[in-house]
Structure 1
Amino acid sequence: MLPQRRRPHMSAPETTTVHLRQNQAEFAAHRLKRKPRMGETRKMAATLPMCVVDYMDTTKSPEEEDIAAAIKDVRARLGDKVLILGHHYQRDGIVEHADYIGDSFMLSQKAADSDATTIVFCGVHFMAESADVLTNDEQAVLMPTLRAGCSMADMATLEEVERDWPTMLERGGWADPALRDDPSAPAEANDAYLVPVTYMNSSAALKDFVGRHGGVVCTSSNARGVLEWAFERAGERGAVLFFPDQHLGRNTGLKMGLEEGRMPVWIPAMGASSGLDDARIVLWHGFCSVHKRFTAEQISEFRTRHPEGVVVVHPECPRATVEAADADGSTEYIKRFIDAQPPGSSIAVGTEINMVARMAKEHPDKHIECLDAEVCPCSTMYMIHPAYLLDVLERLEAGELPNRVVVPASVQEGALLALERMLSITA
């Protein structure tokens, strides 16, 4: 069960090469106990996507060692009142300090189940928002930096969805579930509703919209079950609006037996790629910039080098990539898949490089490589630098609540409703 909110918050390759060049100005700022100057911070954010990192190198520079030691010291002084959560896509310098490592929803559940008064979420903004919705009012959710967003989540804004929603309803001949006494009730004979389903990778504002319109949140691990639930609410003549990631929606629909022709893509402000008369899933035109890079050609090249090898990818990859792979699933599924392969296995993985490199280091008896030889990290996840984590912990020890993520009370109710519906499906 989710915690009851008693009151709203009060404030509104094999080894691909990346050698992280330590931001000396930022490190010096921490040693001098001051915040980095505006120009210094901007410089770090601007150069992150261009940095080069050896993901298999476990050594630290003297500066990195000092930061890691300082984090451990302040973490020990703060004790159990602080919970540090790290997503699978975080760099090792963050993961080593995390109390839990997992996917976005698992980490949010850990936050909700924790007695810690402060949760430091080392992930991107929508994850911290979900944690704030799921935790109680006495818990504060912080991020090492508030600039760590998600480009895919930003591809579907509340303004765009609210603007296009009436047009979708009109063109598809569907009714709005919000008009019913119980927006999430199963459809009756001849009903035709458009039921919104949002991926976990979306803003709290969109989750609120979904909750108010009888919809539900999904993850990459439960998308099929959630879509089955949504189809029951839409009716045989109805449809589901799936956003923001078109690839997860399409791949899941195909597994459920839908033809791609019944899953048109909706381009914001422009309309659908084809007619909506026979649509069963309307796919929002969003995607993950990292997973879009993985291709069927890369899989073919891997199989040429490793005829006995296996390939596992994330369902955010394009259809051709998923169909060419041996398996696909969430980050937790990918981890279990790799763990289950016997020693000596060759495994190609289609997901973010920090996780792939970590799996390779944890399984030295297996050959594990990233599908994309020119792989780059998720640039927004990579904004979570150990120096930022240290800064947040030091300021927390000083009595501050820096970089707090607060979902407004006006948004919490609908977002929590959409999350609770998901939990009722997967329970």
Structure 2
Amino acid sequence: MTASPVQLLPRPVDPSVDHGIQAIVAGEASGSTCSTDLAASPWTFDTTPGYGPGASMGDVLPTGSPAQGTLPATYREAPEEELHERIRAAKETLGDRVVILGHFYQRDEVVRHADYVGDSFQLAKAAQAHPAAEAIVFCGVHFMAETADLLSRPEQAVILPNLAAGCSMADMADIDQVEECWEQLEDVYGPLDEPNADGLVPVIPVTYMNSSAAIKGFVGRHGGIVCTSSNARTVLEWAFARGRRVLFFPDQHLGRNTAKAMGVPLEAMPMWNPHRPLGGSSEQDLRDARVILWHGFCSVHRRFTVDQIDKARAEHPGVRVIVHPECPMPVVDAADEAGSTDVIRRAIEDATEPTTFAIGTEINLVQRLAAQHPQHTIFCLDPVVCPCSTMYRIHPGYLAWTLEELVAGRVVNRITVPGSVADPARVSLDRMLACVPQAPARKA
């Protein structure tokens, strides 16, 4: 009698990117990382201006960016399991007084303590769902905490565990540069608030959620709107119904990929480089434009290439390639699908048959998905382990510190958006909410 065949499931994946990097740097595992300094604790770099290990050399931290003070030694020297226990104990003591939000790209050692896990907007909405909480601890980056502050009640304290957790893409469009751009566009188009015979104004500003509160406020003051990677197309349709053109910032790739899919020709999408007069374009190019793309990008998603996709297809026949729309256009064109972090997550969850997935997005999410779905083979397109350098600045040590300070009645690292910025910023977010409803973040 012949025994029935046994299906061998893939070996479970350790979702901890930090553990993997430590093993690579120690020579205990094969592979490579974009910076061996990633094996060091993030507080090692708190006093050094910059986005941290793994950041692109071209990502220059703006002057005056928030800096994190020295983390007390009790957190810096504590073993990992002790930190986890202190976090659990503080959460139990605080109860419903605190809500912890963890971004999809956050390290696994932090996500395990989150009450909600999602993208930046889902998490901001999750914060709204807890108006009785005294504090919202946002394990993400600075612009995300700002958005949570915009959407939460004034009495609630929004806390960013490490103030050095910024976002290089968001910093690529600062308010002074955007206002200068707007003035130059007015020189080309005339008054930007005067509609033509068809009721369309010359240009509508659209900012990606990955932008500062100041930029969201600018957009709100000038008739514009915020978008996410999930609803960018719907938002562009909203904008085209009100303006002849769109000024899209800060991520050129999301703007280009979305507009191209809508049929906007590439020649009608000039780039605006804030360091050049008229952004480096001619007046005629700007008059012919349908979408003016800001010269910004995500350093993580810019790492993905068509060669990586070709290699994945050669080594894994039938592989399903899904990439984030922040990737460059040739990468999106070469992939099978492109979608937001939540779209990627749902595509894997909805696959009913064992499937090989090659994913083009941040490694923490990819590793976590691989661990959660062992029936599939899931790997990152980029073989070099390179997490989001700023998201990686959040560490269990900082989370334990912020929570134990709350237990002691002290609020540290509070993120507050001034009213002069918050009011118009909420207008731009409200327009987005009216444009397309968003699903809430899933319970962790």
SS in 2 for 1:286: coil
**CA drift at 1:216:** 0.3
Residue identity opposite 2:287 in structure 1: D
Q: 1:42 aligns with which of 33, 43, 47?
A: 47
Q: 1:216 aligns with which of 215, 225, 235?
A: 225
Deviations 1:82-119 (A, max 9, x none): 00000000011000000000000000001112131110
Identity of matched residues, % = 52
SS in 2 for 1:202: coil
Distance 1:250 1:45, change over 3 A: closer
SS in 2 for 1:292: helix
Specify the alignment match of 2:394 in structure 1: 384
RMSD value, Cα: 2.2
The answer as to whether partners of 2:46 and 2:164 remain within 8 angstroms in 1 is no
**CA drift at 1:298:** 0.7
**CA drift at 1:176:** 1.7
Residue identity opposite 1:326 in structure 2: D
The answer as to whether partners of 2:51 and 2:165 remain within 8 angstroms in 1 is no
**CA drift at 1:339:** 1.1
Specify the alignment match of 1:252 in structure 2: 258
Q: 1:70 aligns with which of 82, 86, 99?
A: 86
Q: Which has the higher contact order (CA 8 A, sep 6+)?
A: 2
User: For 1:370 and 1:62, how far apart are their aligned partners in 2?
Assistant: 31
SS in 2 for 1:83: strand
**CA drift at 1:170:** 2.2
User: For 2:263 and 2:48, how far apart are their aligned partners in 1?
Assistant: 49
**CA drift at 1:174:** 5.0
Show the 5 A alignment for 1:196-211.
196-211=205-220
Q: Is structure 2 residue 211 aligned with structure 1 residue 194?
A: no
Q: Is structure 2 residue 184 aligned with structure 1 residue 167?
A: yes
Specify the alignment match of 1:100 in structure 2: 116
Residue identity opposite 1:264 in structure 2: P
Residue identity opposite 2:225 in structure 1: V
Q: Is structure 2 residue 423 aligned with structure 1 residue 413?
A: yes
SS in 2 for 1:49: coil
Residue identity opposite 1:42 in structure 2: T
Deviations 1:113-170 (A, max 9, x none): 2131110000000000000000111211001111100000000000000112111232
Distance 1:333 1:49, change over 3 A: same
Distance 1:416 1:63, change over 3 A: same
Residue identity opposite 1:205 in structure 2: A
TM-score, with length taken from structure 1: 0.85
Specify the alignment match of 2:440 in structure 1: none
Q: Is structure 2 residue 37 aligned with structure 1 residue 18?
A: no
**CA drift at 1:309:** 0.8
Specify the alignment match of 2:411 in structure 1: 401
The answer as to whether partners of 1:313 and 1:351 remain within 8 angstroms in 2 is yes
User: For 1:43 and 1:18, how far apart are their aligned partners in 2?
Assistant: 22
Specify the alignment match of 1:288 in structure 2: 298
The answer as to whether partners of 2:321 and 2:336 remain within 8 angstroms in 1 is yes
SS in 2 for 1:312: strand
Residue identity opposite 1:147 in structure 2: A
SS in 2 for 1:65: helix
**CA drift at 1:22:** 6.3
Q: Is structure 2 residue 93 aligned with structure 1 residue 90?
A: no
Q: Is structure 2 residue 241 aligned with structure 1 residue 241?
A: no
User: For 1:322 and 1:312, how far apart are their aligned partners in 2?
Assistant: 8
The answer as to whether partners of 1:88 and 1:101 remain within 8 angstroms in 2 is yes
**CA drift at 1:340:** 1.7
The answer as to whether partners of 1:242 and 1:249 remain within 8 angstroms in 2 is yes
**CA drift at 1:70:** 0.8
The answer as to whether partners of 1:311 and 1:347 remain within 8 angstroms in 2 is yes
The answer as to whether partners of 1:84 and 1:97 remain within 8 angstroms in 2 is yes
Specify the alignment match of 1:151 in structure 2: 168
Deviations 1:284-333 (A, max 9, x none): 00000000011111111100011111000000000000011111111110
The answer as to whether partners of 2:270 and 2:291 remain within 8 angstroms in 1 is yes
Residue identity opposite 2:296 in structure 1: G
The answer as to whether partners of 1:48 and 1:382 remain within 8 angstroms in 2 is no
User: For 2:400 and 2:234, how far apart are their aligned partners in 1?
Assistant: 40
Show the 5 A alignment for 1:337-348.
337-348=347-358
Residue identity opposite 1:253 in structure 2: A
User: For 1:133 and 1:140, how far apart are their aligned partners in 2?
Assistant: 11
**CA drift at 1:21:** 4.5
Specify the alignment match of 2:271 in structure 1: 265
Distance 1:116 1:286, change over 3 A: same
